[in-house]
């Protein structure tokens, strides 16, 4: 490849990624698609891969485990919601391969083990979820361009208990909680803090919860700081492990940030993810993510595949 082709191809790769950007704002440069500031923040990494003739590596902290609230999800294991997201990610690497032959690799860095104790998901559920995620990835047409990386895949953590793994991560990479609280109070990370608090409140507000809403809200606020602290520690660990990779996020990001927010599946909520929702077949040619209770309130019917709950479908979709 001629050196003069590198910038053009790298820009084309970035354009394909930015078509699915999950934006934190739609003002300034981010009012445009693709956003030039967001593109330029990551372009140099893509250019290095293209210049070397290597697949463009991206890391995506995501797919932690299913919400414990059955008003939002179908169960413990990945279902159609995750399958749709994996199909999208694999398709994205395929589209990149059409414009750049070495293609791209997206390493899904499952963060469930990182903060499972803070979000109320048992570690055995995280293990089952991760195993099924690997099964789904293995079943994708080759080359899928996808891989899975978990906290226990680090050699130095092999053989440690799950609590000790989290302790080591926190000791090595975590920002002090008081420092994080000050930044949130100063207006930094406020949107993320509020979103995580909302998720934790919803996840804890199950039919079996007997406490007050005020107590649950206080608890969710306290745990949100731990989730953000550990998530950032995980991100810093990944930056050390994969220093040249393009960093993706399932959360909306500020314009020009060092991580690029990306949508996985169509959703009306900018923060909703496959592990906090179910897939709903609308009958209009596609799926959308909604909470389970919303799908049922709309009269959708449960669809099973392989003997397991998979997704919901509106009657129009079932009749098609």
Share of the chain above pLDDT 90, in %: 77
In degrees, rounded to 5, the angle at the alpha carbon of residue 21 between the alpha carbons of residues 15 and 27 is 100
What rounded mean pLDDT belongs to the chain? Answer: 92
Q: What is the pTM of this model?
A: 0.92
Mean pLDDT for 106-123 is 96
The closest of 9, 97, 20 to 48, measured between CA atoms, is 9
Which residue has better confidence, 265 or 95? Answer: 95
> How do residues 233-278 score in pLDDT, each as one tens digit?
999 999 999 999 999 998 888 888 899 999 888 776 667 899 999 9
Q: Give the pLDDT score at 2.
A: 67
Consecutive H or E run containing 261: strand 260-261
Consecutive H or E run containing 10: helix 5-18
Is the pLDDT at 318 greater than 70? The verdict is no
The closest of 290, 270, 288 to 30, measured between CA atoms, is 270
With b for 16 or more beta-carbon neighbours within 10 A and e for fewer, the 152-168 pattern comes to beeeebeeeebeebbeb
3-state class percentages of the chain: helix first, strand second, coil last, to nearest 5: 50, 15, 35
Q: How confident is the model at residue 208 (pLDDT cuts 50, 70, 90)?
A: confident
Q: Give the pLDDT score at 34.
A: 81
């Amino acid at each position: 490849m001629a050196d003069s082709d590198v910038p053009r191809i790298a820009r084309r790769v970035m354009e394909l990624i930015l078509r699915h950007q999950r934006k934190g704002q739609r003002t300034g440069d981010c009012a445009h698609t693709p956003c030039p500031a967001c593109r330029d923040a990551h372009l140099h990494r893509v250019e290095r891969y293209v210049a070397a003739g290597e697949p463009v590596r991206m890391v995506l902290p995501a797919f932690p485990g299913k919400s414990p609230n059955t008003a939002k999800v179908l169960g413990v294991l990945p279902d159609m919601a995750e399958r749709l997201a994996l199909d999208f990610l694999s398709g994205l690497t395929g589209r990149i391969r059409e414009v750049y032959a070495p293609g791209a690799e997206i390493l899904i860095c499952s963060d469930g083990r990182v903060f499972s104790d803070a979000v109320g998901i048992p570690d055995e559920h995280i293990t089952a979820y991760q195993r099924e995620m690997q099964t789904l990835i293995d079943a994708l047409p080759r080359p899928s361009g996808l891989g899975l990386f978990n906290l226990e895949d680090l050699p130095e953590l092999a053989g440690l208990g799950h609590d000790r793994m989290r302790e080591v991560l926190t000791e090595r990479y975590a920002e002090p909680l008081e420092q994080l609280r000050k930044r949130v109070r100063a207006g930094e990370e406020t949107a993320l803090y509020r979103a995580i608090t909302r998720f934790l409140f919803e996840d804890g507000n199950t039919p079996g919860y007997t406490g007050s809403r005020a107590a649950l809200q206080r608890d969710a606020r306290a745990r949100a700081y731990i989730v953000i602290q550990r998530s950032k520690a995980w991100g810093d660990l990944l930056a050390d492990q994969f220093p040249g990779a393009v960093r993706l996020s399932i959360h909306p990001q500020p314009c020009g940030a060092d991580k690029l927010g990306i949508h996985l599946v169509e959703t009306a909520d900018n923060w909703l993810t496959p592990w906090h929702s179910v897939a709903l077949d609308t009958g209009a040619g596609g799926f959308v993510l909604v909470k389970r209770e919303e799908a049922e309130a709309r009269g959708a019917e449960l669809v099973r595949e392989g003997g397991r709950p998979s997704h919901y479908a509106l009657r129009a979709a079932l009749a098609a």
